Amino acid sequence: MIERRRGLTVFSHAVLWCGLAVVVLPVYLAFVASTHPLDAVLTAPIPVLPGDMFWENYTAVLTGDVANFGSAPVVLMLANSLVMALGIAVGKIAISVISAYAIVYFKFPLRTLFFWLIFVTLMLPVEVRIIPTFEVAANLALLNTYQGLILPLIASATATFLFRQFFLTIPDQMLEAARIDGAGPIRFFIDIVLPLSRTNIAALFVILFIYGWNQYLWPLLVTTDQDMGTIVVGISNLIQVAEAEPRWPYVMATTILALIPPVVVIVLMQRQFVRGLVEQEK
């Protein structure tokens, strides 16, 4: 804002606080619910202040030490989700940065065709190809494995496209200077292109980690073994218990725990790519 009027400042802060409240309130209520016994949560009025069951509820869900809970320990599910999300994020970035490098810097027959082939897959969401993908995964004995969770989701047209666009902005002279310095394609990639892509990689990592973390349909299909279940699938299993009221404090505790890794990733990587943005020089 160019003008600095007091009323305006107060107003914009008020709007910000409202927005914040809308976002934070459900999370807060979830946290409150996770610290009470079940009957406290089910009777009106619902509690608005944290209760005294924090340690009990959280240790119970983390260790899976709950009778008839119908789910693997949350620690295990968190670990599964972490492996899957990291695998997807790292794998997608690794594959797309290499494909984009090939498409931008190498001349090979049908180069444009291959680029458009990759690009066209953007138009096919996971759901469209889920049955054939499941068939393939089943035939390769990938069900109930980390590879099965990760590999089918790893190819990324979006990331390839983003890296391609970024590489096109690196001046040609950079490549020529590197050629004169004697850098071959691999050295140029490692010494020049990757460091210059640092900020893009950081931003993409955050987006892709959350994308992987939030996967629901595919993990639901490809894992039948409870020990391979992911946290997002696990939460929905907790709610759909047969012939009983869901145990909301445990569900909410699990939900809060499921929030933590994406938040940690965002906080850590944000620092990374803000620093990158500050140092950016052309």
User: Residues interacting with another protein, by CB under 8 A?
Assistant: 171, 173-174, 176-183, 187, 191-192, 195-196, 198, 279-282
Q: How far is it, in rounded angstroms, from Cα 33 to Cα 47?
A: 7
The whole-angstrom separation of Cα 52 and Cα 56 is 9
Least Cβ distance, residue 105 to another protein (angstroms): 14
Burial 263-280 (b: 16+ CB within 10 A, else e): eebeeebeebbeebeeee
196 versus 207: smaller Cβ distance to another protein: 196
- The 3-state DSSP class for residue 223 equals coil
Q: How far is the CB of 204 from another protein (least distance, A)?
A: 18
For residues 133 and 241, what is the distance between their CA atoms, to the nearest angstrom?
Answer: 29
Supply the minimum distance, in Å, between the C-beta of residue 104 and another protein.
Answer: 17
Q: Which is nearer to another protein, 172 or 243 (CB)?
A: 172
Q: Which is nearer to another protein, 34 or 200 (CB)?
A: 200
Q: Pick between residue 175 and residue 222 the one whose CB is nearest to another protein.
A: 175
- Cβ-contact 1, 8 below 8 angstroms: yes
Q: Which among 85, 79, 34 is positioned nearest to 60, based on CA atoms?
A: 34
Find the shortest distance in angstroms from Cβ 162 to another protein.
19
* Minimum CB distance to another protein, residue 159 (Å): 21
Give the residue carrying structure tokens 């001349």: 107
Rank residues 191 and 245 by Cβ distance to another protein and give the closer one.
191
Place of tokens 């997608």: 92
